[in-house]
Amino acid sequence: MKIKNIVAAGSVCFLTLFSCTDINENIYDKYQPDSFYGTPEGANIALASVYAEIPGDFERKGVPGVGYAGADNGWYDMNCMSSDEQVIPHRNDGNWQQDFARLHKHEWLPSEFIINNTWNWLYKSVFNANLAVELLEKSNADPSKIAEAKVLRAFFYYLLIDDFGNVPFYTDNNITVDKIPQASRKEVFDFIVKELTDNVELLSVTKGGNYYGRFNKWAGYTLLAKVYLNAEVYTGEAKWTECLAACNKVSEGGFTLHSGEANDASPLKNKYYELFGDVLPDDETILPIYATLDVVSRNVYAVRSVYGPQGTNMFGLSGWNGTIVPKDFYLKYAANDIRRNQFLVGEQPGGFNYTLEVASLDNPGAAPQAGVRNVKFYPAGVKSGGGASNDFPIYRYADVILMMAECNARLGNPAAAKPFIDQIRQRAGLDALDHNPTLDDIYNERGFELNWEGHRRQDMIRFDKFLLANEFRPASPAYRKLFPIPTSALDANRGLKQNPGY
């Protein structure tokens, strides 16, 4: 069980980022504003306000759909439901809205609730990161703290260009919304790369402890690798060599793959699933989101998937009967793959039966027990009908290994890619490949390993799979590779130009 960090009278604990500081023992108002944020306490406060944006929750101060992952109606749902790995169908008993089906069928509109939530969350995060950079620079704070704030800002801008392309861009909060200029995707890409290359080496090398859930040097290089990995999508110019170099820097951090040994004490019968539990193992985890239900964030993904009474049967919580795994995605897994343990299909204890076939996503909708379910994030820690306390892996070393495989293959050296793919396969209980990996092999392995972790839409676009027809829709037009700028943002800033097709 993780230790809760609680904001309470007399003490402030900033998520998992920093040790608890008793404010009754430190008289902070003796500092001038321009010097306070140069102190260790002040610098941590400035950074904590930015990190607080990352954990997902249903709403924060009345704003719905906030955070990177953990709850619903925000960034995670927008990016994952639009891919082939998951969707929440409208049910023919009247349950569930149709937003998720529209995302999966690539029928979203600029007025979409979830798209608007994601945009607002990202720009609030940019604002807070800009403020932190300003406060820390004015106070001559420790260079590593300034670097951390700049890397965080680069992270949010990376998410923005990935989803929306050409976006409003600013680094100084002394500007009104209607005056923020729109920059090209390439311009923001270049800014992100410069911010990361200028600052990642200044970050701490500490793993775990106070750096659990925080950008250290290794998380910074992983972010840089992800940016380079998708450079051709963003700018038209591939950066495979640069991506591989960033991955090699991450490898210097001493990460390894977590065990794939059997474990009868685990609900899913394997140590592998410790990677998605209450506190994530630091042998493989590079950057997690810390979650403790109803304190900091939550993780709803298993509870949201299973049928209500079966949830009560399995883990004492009524399921929401929501998210399913499309048939074609599930059927790609080999029968002896330990990663298949996360899926529930067919007859279940208690008389439940999840059918492989799903007749409809929206009109009239799916039957209550239609669709494969996923309990990868089997509820752990403090839990209730509102979710559980499973932490969420933003980045883990398996992703880095798969990036190294992809870069080698794209650089014309599939033989060098094979050992990386084989590591992932063999941890999953599969044999090594009997051939050098093709790009399709790598694409499929990324899906098997990283499903439900927020990477699939990006991977589908990079591998030219995102627009292909599936059982629920025909082939999509090319403009669907980007989400639209929300109608509300266009209304607030008349200088913005909508993405083509919308």
- pLDDT band of 11, cuts 50, 70, 90: very low
Q: Mean of the pLDDT values across residues 127-149?
A: 97
- Please name the amino acid found at residue 365: G
pLDDT at 340 over 90: yes
Q: What is the pLDDT of residues 359-368, one digit of tens each?
A: 999 999 999 9
Residue among 482, 450, 444 at smallest CA distance from 463: 444
Residue 40: what are its φ and ψ, rounded to 5°?
-55, -40
Q: How far is CA 335 from CA 330, 338, 339, 341, 446, in A?
A: 10, 8, 9, 9, 17
Provide CB contacts within 8 A for 265, sequence distance 6+: none
Give yes or no for residue 2 having a pLDDT over 80.
Answer: no
Mean pLDDT of 414-437: 98
Residue 63 has a pLDDT of 84
pLDDT on residue 61: 83
Residues contacting residue 323 through CB under 8 Å, at least 6 positions apart: 86, 87, 88, 301, 304, 305, 373, 374
Looking at every residue in the chain, the average pLDDT score rounds to: 93
pLDDT beyond 80 at 229:
yes
Judge whether 239 and 192 are in contact, CB under 8 Å: no
Q: Is the dihedral of CA 288, 293, 296, 297 positive or negative?
A: positive
SS3 134: helix
Alpha carbons within 13 A on the beta-carbon side of 369: 14
pLDDT at 33: 60
Nearest Cα residue to 297 out of 6, 55, 15, 117: 55
Q: Which residue has the higher pLDDT, 7 or 163?
A: 163
Q: Is residue 336 scored above 80 in pLDDT?
A: yes
Q: Is residue 305 within 8 Å of 313, Cβ to Cβ?
A: no
Reported confidence tier of residue 22, pLDDT bands at 50, 70, 90: very low
DSSP secondary structure letters along 83-97: SSS-B-PPBTTS-S-
The pLDDT of residue 378 is: 98
Q: How far is CA 336 from CA 30, 274, 374, 427, 448, in A?
A: 63, 19, 17, 12, 13
pTM of the model: 0.94
Using CA atoms, how far apart are residues 286 and 207, in angstroms rounded to an integer?
8
Mean pLDDT score, 163-192: 98
DSSP 342: G
Cα 241 to the center of its chain, rounded Å: 24
Over residues 220-238, mean pLDDT: 98
Percent of the chain with pLDDT over 90: 91
Query: At 32, is the pLDDT very low, low, confident or very high (cuts 50, 70, 90)?
Result: low
- pLDDT tens, position by position, 55-96: 999 988 888 889 999 999 999 999 999 999 999 999 999 999
Which tens digit of pLDDT belongs to each residue from 236-289?
999 999 999 999 999 999 999 999 999 999 999 999 999 999 999 999 999 999
Res 47 pLDDT > 80: yes
Residue type, 131: L
Range in 57-66, 369-378, 424-433, 448-457 with the lowest mean pLDDT: 57-66
Q: What is the pLDDT at residue 397?
A: 98
Is 218 a residue whose pLDDT tops 50? yes
In degrees and rounded to multiples of 5, residue 222 shows phi and psi of -65, -40
CA-nearest of 161, 145, 74, 165 to 113 is 74
Residue 13 pLDDT level (bands cut at 50, 70, 90): very low
Sign of CA dihedral 327, 333, 336, 337: negative
Task: For residue 184, give the amino acid letter.
Answer: S
**Position 152 pLDDT exceeds 60:** yes
Q: What is the pLDDT of residue 5?
A: 34
> For the residues 155-173, what does the mean pLDDT come to?
98
Q: How far is CA 56 from CA 67, 71, 259, 407, in A?
A: 4, 5, 28, 31
Q: Locate the domains of the chain by residue range.
A: 271-394
Instruction: Report the distance separating Cα 337 and Cα 341, nearest Å.
Output: 8
Query: In whole angstroms, what separates CA 382 from the centre of its chain?
Result: 22
What is the arithmetic mean of pLDDT over 177-185? 97
pLDDT reading at 408 higher than 50: yes
More confident residue, 464 or 24: 464
